[in-house]
Amino acid sequence: MDQSIKFDLDLIHRYDKSGPRYTSYPTALELHEGFADAEYRQHIDKSNAAGGPLSLYFHIPFCDTVCFYCACNKIITKNRAHAVPYLESLLQEITMQGALFDKNRKVNQLHWGGGTPTFLSFEQMQSLMLATREHFNLHNDDSGEYSIEVDPRETNDLTIAQLRGLGFNRISLGLQDFDPAVQKAVNRLQSKEQTFTVLEAARREGFRSTNIDLIYGLPLQTEDTFARTLDEVLEYVPDRFSIFNYAHMPSRFKTQRQINEADLPAPSVRLDILQMVGKKLSDAGYVYIGMDHFARPDDELAIAQREGKLYRNFQGYSTHSDCDLVGMGVTSIGRVGDAYMQNLKELFEYSEAIADGKLPVFRGVDLDQDDKLRRAVITQLICHFDLNFSRIEREFSINFSSYFAPELENLQIMQTDGLLTLSSQGVKVLSAGRLLIRNICMVFDKYLTQKQQQFSRVI
């Protein structure tokens, strides 16, 4: 499989507009409050009848300090005692949810995100993992994909050893940028020593995959400064990179209002940075997985993509398409059966629902047949840069060219522009189209027209 990318400045300028990242289809904007505890339980029953493995996500919302660019659901506090009542509620939710899922269903994937999961003490993390093992069927042989996001400023050698002992075998380190001026502008002061000490500790302890998060488009960044950060990280050869385009939306995310907009790099500078990133990582032997993600050719994500087994969910790219995703904790989103659901967003409301013996789901969406069809199309495109019409026709008993006649007409324009090739058998995304895969997927999104202004820009 050709996993290369081609940077075409003219195409990027013409196609750079707002659009979803497609961690789900329909996107989270379609979730509504007519879906709650009772509807979720019905979907769990259907899911148990179908069987199959599970994926678990736990949201730990606390951070010690605020990063001005952050768009995550978080609670900023230096008071570690605030985690105590939250953890009690989360443990109760684990008990409640665990009682509803068939114990024969193995947990093939598990992820702790945030916030900063290592805000918790080791004893708290241990109790959380013990409760998970008690109520869900986790692997005991290290064959599951159990991952955690860490802030190197909140982590040390002992923490890494403890996390490995708890069963984690994949780790993602937040960094964003090493440049001192950029770090000051976004209120994230983080040294190289802190970062690489944690990375090396993870390797010593036997973590099977290491990921580094970077963000381009932050205030005061230039191509040269970001290139220095990238070069310094490349010396340590992480297995994966997540390199995100900063989406400045202060009307939605209050913390971003503390960023001086005059310091943000011009669009031309952001494009220069993106082009530099693609070249440096390609020259270093990494392949482009898609949607901001790069990986070494021998990494599980790269292998899954070549074998047609890659999937995408609310945590990003995944090697397991067969798992129902159970989200736990405040604001967490899950996918169980043919539905998406989200927990309450406010800490008090979340804890109150659990105290009342209710699952804290407050909104969701049932997928109809058209949703499932379009999800399958978008998943093939965004994961594999390839769409096989006959496979979709067999699965959904449709005639592709008839069902998607308007969409295929729109793809003709993209074919003329060199983003893809279109034939009677399917769609193949070309190297120049891979950076613009969101645009190609958007052609098949029936909800997009009235919602487009609520998404970040593609590039």
Q: Would you list the domain boundaries of the chain?
A: 1-23+368-459, 24-326
pLDDT number for residue 18: 83
Residue 3 has pLDDT above 70, yes or no: no
Q: Are 344 and 332 in contact (CB under 8 A)?
A: no
Which tokens belong to 287?
Answer: 């392949």
Nearest in space to 433 (alpha carbons), one of 373, 381, 378, 379: 381
- Over residues 14-18, the mean pLDDT reads 85
Lowest-pLDDT range of 12-16, 92-96, 142-146, 440-444? 12-16
Amino acid at position 126, single letter: Q
pLDDT number for residue 101: 98
- Over residues 89-116, the mean pLDDT reads 96
Using a 10 angstrom Cβ sphere, with 0-12 exposed, 13-18 middle and 19 or more buried, the burial of residue 431 is middle
- Over residues 195-215, the mean pLDDT reads 96
pLDDT number for residue 308: 86
Helices (H), 235-345: 267-283, 300-306
- Over residues 208-229, the mean pLDDT reads 97
Q: What is the CATH number of domain 1-23+368-459?
A: 1.10.10.920
pLDDT number for residue 319: 84
pLDDT number for residue 73: 86
Q: Which residue has the tokens 């503390």?
A: 258
Q: Are 386 and 426 in contact (CB under 8 A)?
A: yes
Please report, rounded to a whole number, the percentage of residues in the chain having pLDDT higher than 70.
97
pLDDT number for residue 31: 94
pLDDT number for residue 100: 98
Residue 380 has pLDDT above 90, yes or no: yes
CA torsion 185-186-191-197 (nearest 10°) is -170
Q: What is the rounded average pLDDT for all residues in the chain?
A: 93
- Over residues 400-421, the mean pLDDT reads 96
pLDDT number for residue 69: 95
Residue 105 has pLDDT above 90, yes or no: yes
What confidence tier does 399 reach under pLDDT thresholds 50, 70, 90? very high
What confidence tier does 102 reach under pLDDT thresholds 50, 70, 90? very high
Lowest-pLDDT range of 161-165, 210-214, 305-309? 305-309
pTM surpassing 0.75?
A: yes
What confidence tier does 314 reach under pLDDT thresholds 50, 70, 90? confident
pLDDT number for residue 425: 96
Lowest-pLDDT range of 40-54, 160-174, 223-237, 288-302? 288-302
- Over residues 3-11, the mean pLDDT reads 81
- Over residues 146-150, the mean pLDDT reads 96
> Between the CA of residue 227 and those of 158, 292, 311, 329, what are the distances in Å?
31, 16, 30, 37
Lowest-pLDDT range of 67-76, 162-171, 356-365, 443-452? 443-452
- Over residues 375-393, the mean pLDDT reads 95
Fold of 24-326: pyruvate-formate lyase- activating enzyme (3.80.30)
